Amino acid sequence: MIRLVGILVGLGFTFVVLLAFVTGAYTAATEEVAETAEHAFHEEAHGPEAGYSFDGVFGTWNYAQLQRGYQVYKEVCSACHSLKFVAFRDLAQLGYSEAQVKAEAATWQVPGINPDTGENEMRQALPTDYFPSPYPNAVAAAAANNNAIPPDLSLMTKARHHGSNYVYSLLTGYQQPPERMLEDFPDAAPGTGLYYNPYFANLNLAMAPPLTSDGQVTYADGTDATISQMSQDVAAFLTWTAEPALIKRKQTGLPVLGFLLFATILAWFAKKQVWADVKPKRRKD
């Protein structure tokens, strides 16, 4: 009797699951999906017209651009965003000398402890320190940014699809919402403290346009600091923070592929040589 009840319960459960599956499949196949503002107005990220120096198999770092991107981060982005996985000593990879790295680190303040009193205090950063957060904690970060916590930028280009292009498009993509969107999707209009950007996932984000005018940053090398140029430079810099070994990996990969191709050809000839004198056996009928 218990076995019969168990079988009936199992059959009932199977029937319910099958019915739910068939109903869901039928609904998905026949029901029209309502268009959303995100689907209608979201745009795919794109990079600068000239592209990036690190694109492609033979790409390389443009160290002058990386240094300009660091300058944009320091003077603009660091007011809200941290780089918690990057140490000041890593800047040596951008072409800075040891003395320059030490001097640059000293321009930043990081949390420390007073050796005499044991109390918390701010001190000059050392090359071994990591880039500090502009806020003491997440609560303070949210309170200063319309209840939105600015994300850390260390791995941003790895965390977003087409990361370098995403950063560039986001920084250059702020604009007024299209009239058609306001008419067809009034609920999608930017609320208080939000800004329309078609390259952001839900079109509206709490970050105000960080790059608002040409010449906002005065480049040390004299490059014309247009909004497009600054966006491209900081996107390249954030690509380096996320993948500092990108170019080295490409440079290593090409010889490895060449070796594997050579080894494959060599193995094929070796096989032909070893089995050259071996004749296939004839089948006896």
The amino acid present at 265, given as its one-letter code, is I
Q: Which amino acid is at 49?
A: E
> Does 81 carry a binding-site annotation?
yes
Is 42 flagged in the annotation as binding? no
Which residues, 6+ apart, have CB-to-CB distance to 184 below 8 Å?
37, 40
Rounded Cα distance between 199 and 176, Å, is 13
How far apart are alpha carbons 87 and 94 in whole angstroms?
A: 12
Phi, psi for residue 124 in degrees, rounded to 5: -65, 140
Neighbours of 251 (CB within 10 A): 14
The alpha carbons of the chain give a radius of gyration, in whole angstroms, of 29
Phi, psi of 81 (to 5 degrees): -115, 145
> Cβ of 258: how many Cβ atoms within 10 Å?
10
Task: Identify the DSSP state of 176.
Answer: P
The answer to whether the annotation marks 207 as part of a ligand binding site is yes
| 60 conformational bin, left if phi > 0, alpha if psi -120 to 50, beta if neither | beta
77 in a known ligand binding site: yes
Q: Strand, helix or coil at 140?
A: helix
Whole-angstrom CA distances from 62 to 71, 97, 241 are: 14, 17, 14
Single-letter amino acid, residue 153: L
Binding residues for heme c: 77, 80-81, 207
Binding residues: 77, 80-81, 207
